[in-house]
Amino acid sequence: MNTLPDIEKDFAQWYQDIIYQAELVDQAPVRGCFIIRPYGWAMWENMQQYMDARIKATGHQNASFPLFIPQSFIAKEAKHVEGFSPELAVVTHAGGKQLEEPLVVRPTSETIIHDSFSRWVRSWRDLPLKLNQWCNVVRWEKRPRAFLRTTEFFWQEGHTVHETLQEAETEVQLMLNEYVSFIQGQLSIPVFVGEKSASERFAGAERTYAVEGIMPDGRALQMCTSHLLSQSFAHAFNIKFQNREGEQAYPYLTSWGITTRVVGATIMTHGDQKGLVLPPAIAPIQVVVVAIFKNDEEYQAVANELDFIQSNLADWRVFSDLDRQKTPGAKFYHWELRGVPVRLEIGPRDAKARQVVLVNRFTGQKTTVPFDQITQVVAAEIKNIQDGLYKKAQERLERLVIVGQKLTEFGPQLEERGVACVTGWCQSPECEQALAPYKASTRVLLDTQKVTHCFNCSKPSPRDVLIARSY
């Protein structure tokens, strides 16, 4: 058994170690790429399943667009090509020959999807058009970290077309709100939500909204974005429709996505010194039943009760650990490291007394539970853990986010104390650039006005901004 680094003193190393020890990922032979192992992939599958249902319930349909995009497509929207060029992977040879036009491995699919939209959209009757795809994308990553920054990553990207700016804005907010309820409700992560500054905007968007979590080291992690692309891409890809007045018009576009980064956010937000602590909603195993026995007779006595216990746990993802090689202690360690929310222990004496010992991974509390109360007690514990994780993370977030007036005062604290800061900002790019020496940036504009003057120039600030170092 390897010991995890001190989570308080060396959070970065703790993360680096837990992702391998809990068998979430392995290194790949290609720089910047990672192998996602079954336990890590199952977390993502649970997240996908929830979000996919929500995406469909809000009137979107899934489709699939090609992995490869002609290089000339990327170049069509001026800011888009400028933003993505340094990160592209390019296929130059295929089928044994050099290609006439190199193909870009998609870093995002606006260009190839908008090309299709230009053929599919003819009339206002074709609108709104609301598509989504789950896929892999590639952005060449110089400083890779598993889940957080990887050359290949996984996401959904939604792409929609609307008659009016108002409808497009409504769509952008709709999906932003879906993301927030997913992240808060399923991942138990408290967040900041708001618009990005011009310099942090998606390449080619008119407005970008984002959801940001604050990790235990005070750094912000952008978990998803929702973009009002407006008409720039419609012009670039010549998407036109006949409007209700019979005139040719350019529609308003949006795009929005959430990535495998949220797996990293979940690990960092809830983990403790013993390892992962997973929100039940997305835990691959929600309840582990650990059989405790010394010999064949005891094994049999315990094993005989497992069917009954499992039949009382039909609503949850359950795994029964009947391993005959490992000691009970090794099993406890194994499942605590992997963050299984509820552990039920049953030994021969428990079997006889028709009870189990329940251990809550989040609180560490042990409770003896009679067989006939297992269903209701487990249901209550699962709910308590889901809610408790959020509450604990919310309390930490409140400690980690300070309100600051002047950059010269709060700037040094960002790294020294590991905090983020809510402050005022005149919204000029010049003042934003003053954050660079502190390795910090504006994360999102907020609806509050706790501070009335800019952190840098002291001019009036119309609204607060979240400032942090970021992942």
Verify binding: residue 165, its own copies, rule CB under 8 A.
no
The CA distances from residue 133 to 63, 101, 207, in Å, are 5, 25, 22
Considering only residues 191 to 220 of the shown chain, the ones binding its own copies according to CB under 8 A are: none
Q: Which long-range contacts (CB under 8 A, 24 or more apart) does 325-334 make?
A: 328/290, 328/292, 330/1, 331/290, 332/290, 332/359, 333/1
Structure letter (DSSP) for residue 67: S
The binder of its own copies chosen from 50, 140, 250, 299 (CB under 8 A)? 140
C-alpha closest to that of 254 among 227, 220, 288:
227
In the bound complex, what is the minimum distance in angstroms from residue 64's beta carbon to its own copies?
4
The answer to whether residues 188 and 390 touch, using CB atoms and an 8 Å cutoff, is yes
Write the interaction track for its own copies spanning residues 308-347; mark x where CB under 8 A is met and - where it is not. -----------------x----------------------
In the bound complex, what is the minimum distance in angstroms from residue 58's beta carbon to its own copies?
15
Q: Rounded to an integer, what distance in angstroms lies between the CA atom of residue 445 and that of residue 466?
A: 6
Is 36 in a helix, a strand, or coil?
strand
The answer to whether residues 292 and 330 touch, using CB atoms and an 8 Å cutoff, is no
What string of DSSP letters covers 398-433? HHHEEE-S-HHHHHHHIIIII-EEEEE----HHHHH
The binder of its own copies chosen from 16, 126, 135, 450 (CB under 8 A)? 135
H/E stretch holding 283 reads none
Verify binding: residue 112, its own copies, rule CB under 8 A.
yes
In the bound complex, what is the minimum distance in angstroms from residue 39's beta carbon to its own copies?
8
Q: How many CA atoms lie within 13 A of 208 on its CB side?
A: 21
C-alpha closest to that of 223 among 148, 164, 324:
148
Considering only residues 85 to 104 of the shown chain, the ones binding its own copies according to CB under 8 A are: 85-96, 102-103
138 versus 262: smaller Cβ distance to its own copies: 138
In the bound complex, what is the minimum distance in angstroms from residue 185's beta carbon to its own copies?
24
Residue 23 structure tokens = 């068998």
153 versus 455: smaller Cβ distance to its own copies: 153
Verify binding: residue 78, its own copies, rule CB under 8 A.
no
Verify binding: residue 36, its own copies, rule CB under 8 A.
yes
343 Cβ contact list (under 8 Å, min separation 6): 287, 288, 289, 290, 332, 335, 336, 358, 359, 361
Q: Using CB under 8 A, which of the segments 149-157, 187-195, 288-296, 424-432 binds its own copies?
A: 149-157
Verify binding: residue 267, its own copies, rule CB under 8 A.
no
The answer to whether residues 269 and 218 touch, using CB atoms and an 8 Å cutoff, is no
69 versus 301: smaller Cβ distance to its own copies: 69
In the bound complex, what is the minimum distance in angstroms from residue 118's beta carbon to its own copies?
11
Q: Rounded to an integer, what distance in angstroms lies between the CA atom of residue 260 and that of residue 234?
A: 29
The answer to whether residues 389 and 270 touch, using CB atoms and an 8 Å cutoff, is yes
Verify binding: residue 70, its own copies, rule CB under 8 A.
yes
Amino acid code (one letter) for 244: R
Neighbours of 92 (CB within 10 A): 10
In the bound complex, what is the minimum distance in angstroms from residue 35's beta carbon to its own copies?
5
Verify binding: residue 125, its own copies, rule CB under 8 A.
yes
Q: Using CB under 8 A, which of the segments 138-146, 329-337, 360-368, 408-416 binds its own copies?
A: 138-146
11 versus 124: smaller Cβ distance to its own copies: 124
In the bound complex, what is the minimum distance in angstroms from residue 439's beta carbon to its own copies?
22
5 versus 144: smaller Cβ distance to its own copies: 144
Q: Using CB under 8 A, which of the segments 41-49, 165-173, 422-430, 449-457 binds its own copies?
A: 41-49
68 versus 299: smaller Cβ distance to its own copies: 68
95 versus 429: smaller Cβ distance to its own copies: 95
Q: In this structure, what are the phi and psi dihedrals at residue 43, rounded to the nearest 5 degrees? A: -60, -50
How are beta strands 25-27 and 34-36 bridged, if at all? antiparallel
In the bound complex, what is the minimum distance in angstroms from residue 285's beta carbon to its own copies?
12
37 versus 79: smaller Cβ distance to its own copies: 37
Q: Using CB under 8 A, which of the segments 111-119, 178-186, 275-283, 444-452 binds its own copies?
A: 111-119
238 versus 452: smaller Cβ distance to its own copies: 238
How are beta strands 420-424 and 401-403 bridged, if at all? parallel
Residue 280 structure tokens = 């039940």
The binder of its own copies chosen from 17, 20, 35, 406 (CB under 8 A)? 35
Verify binding: residue 161, its own copies, rule CB under 8 A.
no
Verify binding: residue 126, its own copies, rule CB under 8 A.
no
* Residues at the interface with its own copies (CB under 8 A): 26, 28-30, 33-38, 41-42, 45, 61-70, 73, 85-96, 102-103, 105, 112, 115-116, 119-120, 125, 131, 135-136, 138, 140, 142, 151-152, 154, 325
